[in-house]
Structure 1
């Protein structure tokens, strides 16, 4: 039952985590947005839908929102929400939730894994052994994280989780954020360029969206330098991929560990097969434990809205 006491349907917008997909149907009347024939589907069922459950990979644009006259809530499976046309939702007073906090350890862990993999050339060394090259000579010496200086671009929940793990590896941490974060022990740098110039490695953990599109550009990469390493576990849109390829090709950047890309799942061909790059298929939060916790929080937000109660984790822009 919806907050107004009238029956309504939850629309699942694929792709969704399988457990969450099934759990929605176990509690509510449910429909799935089809890949084909959406206009006809929405004309037939749009007036039934009161809530949407989606993921970071599920686009919820203004056209979909406008086709659902009773829509009152969007529950997003993921901490980022650049997949949702937030302006369209706000204009209708639609509540929107996400899943912050529960994925911080997994994403931070993945950022550290990428940093170590690039600095210690773990993937290249694996290929060296797998291809039988070791008997012909030792693998070249690598860099290390201990004793280095690591910059974190975006010191929110995940950024702070990354920072504590970087410190545990024996590295120094500095950061840039939209504004200084009170109470943290790390040096604040006034811009992404200034941060990149001061550190050996740069880990990107900012939100996606128009405000951060292309934030890591050629100037930032040049400031990071020929021995620098870039790690991106944020959004592919944050990094200028053409500038990144150019910096790697010219030796102006030392390496990169990338979990996200601008046009996923398509990865620029120029990034493939390189020993100075480690690539992942957007799996930073992809652990069994984390995805279960994300699903539970998604469903708890949906249940709270259905009862007419405040959302557990509303997106800040929707709270007024």
Structure 2
């Protein structure tokens, strides 16, 4: 069978290396869409190839070939993958299916819990919790809620509170939890895509940051708010409810310690000029996804053609 059968298994390595540069260089909203779409496409392509390898190995078994009315000599002349390749592929595919099912189940439960928790008292979108721990997050639901602790409000001044609310409203209005969950499902199917899921978690925060900067008209103020909120949350160590689903405590992105962590990167981006449209990274992403789709299609076509020949013979 053609070498293209294996290429979709290697392309996620390219995406892993490219995830952070794309997250940094593309406009955050565009980066979120590109990275999420790439994660889903690469996960689907790699899963398809694992399935094709599994099928190609199964038809080498005389009993399976006989039951499917296939000619073993024709199949062998088509040079299908070795049996051990098919065994590894089948194990990886089974592990991917189990991981996706578990992740989907956890996410569904968390979403239902978030939906129930979003029905907090009062008709207002903003809910203030009496809690000395500094925290703020957008809780998805119908309708969604923005939950802010008294500890976070005490840590910020009036203008910084406006920044915080604009940031959290961006999470709700743009349904950022859908992007992060989709990327995490893709990473469950293919662990090589975890850097893309992490990049999406970063770009949705940058998306919300840029929205807050546009609303308030003060990028520096947003940068200061991100830093202050991060320090306050880290100092008080708030514990969020429904932690798998809620999004976007300002600055609380895995409590970074290194200078190159998400919060310092977000602050640096806000202190720089607003991001511009960059066609070159977009073109490179499009080429990678087109190559992935083409190779996956070619692999499917090769196996389909081989099985058709074996059945005709």
Q: Give me the TM-score of the superposition, normalised by structure 1.
A: 0.23
**Larger strand proportion of the pair:** 1
**Larger helix proportion of the pair:** 2
Larger Rg: 2
Q: Give me the TM-score of the superposition, normalised by structure 2.
A: 0.24
User: Which of 1 and 2 has higher RCO (CA within 8 Å, sep 6+)?
Assistant: 2
